[in-house]
A and B are shown apart, each in its own frame.
Chain A
Amino acid sequence: MSDIPTQLKYTKNHEWVETLEDDTVRVGITDHAQDLLGDMVFIELPEVGDDVSAGDECAVVESVKAASDVYSPLSGEITAVNTDIAESPEIVNQSPYENGWLFELKPYAPAEFDDLLDADAYNELAETDDH
């Protein structure tokens, strides 16, 4: 059973979204996603300053098994990327919700938050995915 923290929001593409104190958001992939992909070996991140729209491919996580696109959950400007994981991709496996975050962005369209899933809804989605 994978870990799905209740304070986060989720997308159906297995990203999580955390709202930070300065109203920017932090994005990563879920425990369920890292478990499906297995050992990470390469991670491609967006660049700080990039403008992204909700649903844009903006990062790639590549494991021994497969490459997977990461889609931006919200529209906004990239304000930070986690360079530690580019050096040590295994951090995403070890700590998907903490040290393994991918990027931060400043959202342009707060209404898009309504499209995100809560933990219960994501849990349901992850469970159907398992079968």
Chain B
Amino acid sequence: MKQTVLHSEHLKLDAKMVDFGGWHMPINYGSQLDEHHQVRRDAGMFDVSHMTVVDLHGGGVRSFVKYLLSNNIDKLTAAGKALYTCMLNKEGGIIDDLIIYYMSHDSFRMVVNAAMREQDLAWIRQQAAGHDVDIKERDDLAMIAVQGPNARVKAHTALGAEATAKCKGLKPFSALNHKGIFIARTGYTGEDGYEIMVPNAEAPALWQALLDNGVKACGLGARDTLRLEAGMNLYGSDMDEGVTPLASGLAWVVAFEPAERDFIGRRALETQRAQADHDLLVGLVLEGRGVLRNHQKIFANGKCVGKITSGSFSPTLGHSIALARVGRNIKDHCEVDMRGKLVTVRIVKPPFVRHGKSCLA
């Protein structure tokens, strides 16, 4: 199994380690629930070094990423700004979701899912043929996500005075470079914080400095319940190559305007949008006992109308929540087959939790 440069740090903290898409990663360091609350209430950190960082560079890079991605990087008006987007195939299916950072006039950085590394790199290289763009995987970088209401303040102490001075004015969804460390005010938890990319050799010292400043190590278990509460999709569960952004709650990452921008998947999405009969990704809330689980079937008027794509317990709300793909006419309530029993759940629009507070009416 592959190991990140922080692997021995996890073992030192007695983490419960699992096979996570071929990586030996911490699922928790004792209690997933405690780690979840730590991020909602204070500050926690995740080793996300398994994620794939890809730098794109060259005279043709702007026109290339405008063609490659569903969202439009022309929205990024200043260096350091970040954009969430999908990368689609010609049928409009989602090859991956990713964050792209505008580094300079001729360079962009993308962070893609670890499990999709090979497919993504092959696809990007294939599409780049004929474009003046150089593609470089940055496996020399580790990544630590520091998240929570106190995450930035605690990270500042760990990063030092000079970095703090630069980071203080950093806006959400923006990033900067400081002496080879890339600090982005982004995340996957619905809390404020940073995702910090750091040269492999410096990662253990930064990890330790964050621990020393009261940032607790959190595993991928808590990362999953945090992102679900925040209504953020997980690739491979809530979306894959067989579904489009329109059927995944991600219409907002498809920039149909300007009409003359040709991007991969555009024609298929225009057809789907015009037909307007596709499924939708919705939020489900179960206020009673029990936990909604992935793949459970959804019923309305006795008919199966969809299934849960991500279900879990929401530690912040104290009951179960889920994302589900259902027929577009399903409104307000539906039933879920939970271990052989049909249970009524409420349909809501995600997110469920933002900045520590419930978003539910």
Contact = CB atoms under 8 A, between A and B. Distances in A.
A125 interface: no
B31 interface: yes
A40 to B, nearest CB: 9
Interface residues of A, number: 12
Given A64-B225, A64-B312, A64-B313, A39 B32 contact: yes
Interface in B14-35: 28, 31-33
Nearest to A42: B289
A90 B339 contact: no
Main secondary structure of the interface of A (DSSP, over half): mixed
Contacts of B33: 39, 41, 64, 90
B289 A64 contact: no
B28 A38 contact: yes
B28 A41 contact: no
Interface in A63-95: 64-67, 90, 93
B206 interface: no
A44 interface: yes
Contacts of A65: 221
Interface string B223-256: 0010000000000000000000000000000000
A67 B312 contact: no
Contacts of A51: none
A62 interface: yes
A114 to B, nearest CB: 32
A66 B290 CA distance: 10
Contacts of B32: 38-39, 64
A44 B339 CA distance: 14
B291 interface: yes
A33 to B, nearest CB: 15
Interface of B: 28, 31-33, 221, 225, 289-291, 293, 312-313, 315, 339
The 10 nearest A-B residue pairs measured at CB: A39-B33, A41-B313, A42-B289, A64-B313, A39-B32, A62-B291, A64-B32, A39-B31, A38-B32, A42-B290
A41 B31 CA distance: 12
Interface of A: 38-39, 41-42, 44, 62, 64-67, 90, 93
10 contacts: A38-B28, A39-B32, A41-B313, A44-B289, A64-B33, A64-B312, A64-B313, A64-B315, A67-B291, A67-B293
* Residue among B289, B312, B339 facing the most chain A CB atoms (10 A cut-off): B289
Given A44-B289, A62-B290, A67 B221 contact: no
A38 B33 CA distance: 9
Given A64-B32, A64-B221, 10 more contacts: A39-B32, A41-B313, A42-B290, A42-B313, A62-B291, A64-B291, A65-B221, A67-B291, A67-B339, A90-B33
A39 B34 CA distance: 9
B286 to A, nearest CB: 11
B291 A42 contact: yes
Contacts of B31: 39, 93
Contacts of B289: 42, 44
A87 to B, nearest CB: 12
Nearest to B318: A41
Contacts of A62: 290-291
Nearest to B35: A39
Contacts of B293: 66-67
A85 to B, nearest CB: 13
Nearest to A35: B16
Contacts of A93: 31
A83 to B, nearest CB: 14
* Residue among B32, B225, B313 facing the most chain A CB atoms (10 A cut-off): B313
Given A64-B312, A67-B339, A90-B33, A41 B221 contact: no
Nearest to B290: A42
Contacts of A42: 289-291, 313
Nearest to B291: A62
* Residue among B31, B33, B339 facing the most chain A CB atoms (10 A cut-off): B33
A65 B291 CA distance: 9
A39 B221 CA distance: 10
A90 B313 CA distance: 14
B203 to A, nearest CB: 27
* Residue among A39, A42, A65 facing the most chain B CB atoms (10 A cut-off): A39
